[in-house]
Copies of this chain bind each other. A is one copy, B any other.
Amino acid sequence: MDAAVGLAAWAGLLADRTRASFCLALLDGRAWTVGELAKHAGVALSTASEHADRLVAGGMLAQRRQGRHRYLELANPQVAALIETVAAAHPSARNGTGTPVTTLAAAHKRRNLAFARTCYDHLAGYLGVAIADAMVGNGFVTRTHGTALTPRGVAWLGQLGVDLGKPGRRAVLRDCLDWTERRSHLAGVAGSEICRHALAAGWVVRIGSGRAVKVTPVGERALADQLGLVIGAAGTDSPGAAHAMPAGARRR
């Protein structure tokens, strides 16, 4: 009886078309913003916000607030597995429309596809995290007391032709949590300038119209020379890559 209440409450979280749509979308293992989820489900932002509240309160989703964004993801792998199981098993799974339910395994594959992309105005994905790590390894960035550029790092940027100018309101360097890698990459003015330079110098080029980018041979050499960073042959691009991104949030 008591168990029935709990079971009903849990099922109730999924028992709404919009919330179910959220959860299915989040099965890709990434974190989506409220706005992205709203657009995906076709509801107003306010509605999506309220649904997000309920899903978080019910323990189905976890959230992380970053700046003016609110990122939502499945609370844990157990929840993901459970949703997958239910979604795969419910009778109408054979919907015939050829839209199979996304599995976590498939999502991992897709992760490799989008191994490099832009996030706002800086680099993200595997590439972004790798660059961040390499800069720490080379002593250009320190993370001992928060994340900051070292004098050597400033010099390195200057040698690339990047002038950070006078300190303004925007942080010079900031960590930005990468939701495919679940680790931080570099944002802020420096992150933005690194991205700008990488594009300008032909280290990376955009793939299609989305946020995905790929590393050119020139870029591979430059990254190896400049940062000792060896990029594996990972980045296979495919039309699916851009499609895998949450709609919206592509700016600039």
Binding site for B on A (CB under 8 A): 1-21, 23-24, 41-42, 58-59, 78-79, 82, 85-87, 89-93, 95, 97, 99-101, 179
**CB-nearest residue of chain B to A8:** B20
Q: In the complex, what's the smallest C-beta–C-beta distance from A47 to chain B, in angstroms? A: 15
Q: Which residues of B contact A13 (CB under 8 A)?
A: 11
**CB-nearest residue of chain B to A76:** B91
**CB-nearest residue of chain B to A9:** B92
Contact between A90 and B21 (Cβ–Cβ < 8 Å)? no
Q: CA A93 – CA B10 in complex, angstroms?
A: 10
Contact between A90 and B7 (Cβ–Cβ < 8 Å)? yes
Contact between B8 and A14 (Cβ–Cβ < 8 Å)? yes
Contact between A87 and B3 (Cβ–Cβ < 8 Å)? yes
With A82-B85, A85-B82, A86-B82 already in contact, the answer to whether A11 and B15 are too (CB < 8 A) is: yes
Contact between A58 and B91 (Cβ–Cβ < 8 Å)? yes
Q: In the complex, what's the smallest C-beta–C-beta distance from A8 to chain B, in angstroms? A: 4
Q: In the complex, what's the smallest C-beta–C-beta distance from A23 to chain B, in angstroms? A: 8
Partner of A8, one of B8, B15, B101: B15
Q: In the complex, what's the smallest C-beta–C-beta distance from A186 to chain B, in angstroms? A: 19
Can you name 10 A-B pairs with beta carbons within 8 Å? Answer: A1-B41, A3-B93, A5-B20, A7-B92, A9-B92, A11-B13, A11-B14, A14-B15, A59-B91, A86-B86
Q: In the complex, what's the smallest C-beta–C-beta distance from A4 to chain B, in angstroms? A: 4
Contact between A3 and B24 (Cβ–Cβ < 8 Å)? yes
Q: CA A4 – CA B179 in complex, angstroms?
A: 13
Contact between A15 and B15 (Cβ–Cβ < 8 Å)? yes
- With A3-B179, A8-B14 given, can you name 16 additional A-B contacts, CB distance below 8 Å? A2-B95, A2-B97, A3-B20, A3-B24, A3-B92, A3-B101, A4-B18, A6-B90, A6-B95, A7-B24, A7-B90, A7-B92, A11-B15, A11-B86, A78-B89, A82-B85
Q: CA A232 – CA B87 in complex, angstroms?
A: 41
Q: CA A91 – CA B23 in complex, angstroms?
A: 16
Q: In the complex, what's the smallest C-beta–C-beta distance from A67 to chain B, in angstroms? A: 29
**CB-nearest residue of chain B to A100:** B2
Contact between A24 and B4 (Cβ–Cβ < 8 Å)? yes
